[in-house]
Amino acid sequence: MRAKRQYLFIDFEFSMPERNVRVKDFFAEIIEVGIVAVVDDQIVEQFSSYVTPLKFPKLSERCKSFLHITQQQVDSGLSFYDFIRKLEEFNKSNLETTIVTWGNMDMKVLRHNCLKAGVKFPFQAAELDLSMEYKRFFGDQNQTGLWKAVQEYGKEGTGRHHRALDDALTTYNIFKLVEKDKRYLEKPKPTTIGDRVDFSKLLNEFA
C-alpha cells in the first residue's frame, strides 16, 4: 500500500537590518512562522506564531514597518528552541513528507539559524521550491513573486502579503493550481480497441 504523503506549506518572515547601517555579524532570523499541513488534499493543521529572535532580539525600524510587526509581538512569541520543537512535531513516522516553500530562502535561513543556535535541523523531509517549479512550468525567465504568481492565475492571495500564515496558504493555493494544470497537460493514454468497442454487446448481436 502506498504511504500517505504529507505536504507542509511553510512561510517564514525574517528580521532585517536598517538600510545602509552595518550591524556587526548581523544575520536574518525567523520572527514569524506560518505552516499549512495537508494530507490527502485536506488541510489537517494550520500553525501560526511569532518567534523571538535569539541573537538580535531588537527589531529594526525598517523591519517593523515593512512587515507590520511590533517589538511586543516578537517579544511575546515562541522562543527559538520552542519553535524548533514545534517544527519537529510535523515529522510523522507514518507519512512521507514534502516541504513546499516559495523560493529557497525559508529553508536556507532555518538551516543557518539552527547552526547559529547549535540545534539540529528539525525536518526529515523532501523539499520543493515551488517558485522554481512555477518558473520551469511556465518557461518564465525570472522567478516570479508569490503574489504576482497567484494574480497571473487570475486569483488573489489569501489575507495579507508578508503575513506568514497567509503566504503559506497562498503557496498552497498556487500548488493546487499548478498541479491541476500539470494533470491537464499530461497526455491521456491512447485508447485500445477494447476500450472503444464493448465486445459483450457485439457478441450478443451475433448470438
Q: Which residues are known to be catalytic?
A: 13, 162
Closest CA to 75 of 32, 45, 46, 44: 32
What are the start-end ranges of the E strands in the chain? 4-14, 30-39, 42-50, 95-101, 126-129
- How far is 59 from 74, CA to CA, in rounded Å? 9
Which grid cell is 163? 503575513
Please check whether residue 5 is in contact with residue 98, taking contact to mean a CB–CB distance below 8 angstroms: yes
Residues 6 or more apart whose CB falls under 8 angstroms from that of 81 comprise 117, 119
Q: By three-state DSSP, how is residue 51 classified?
A: strand
CA-CA-CA-CA torsion for 43, 48, 53, 57, nearest 10 degrees?
A: 160
Closest CA to 98 of 2, 6, 4, 3: 6
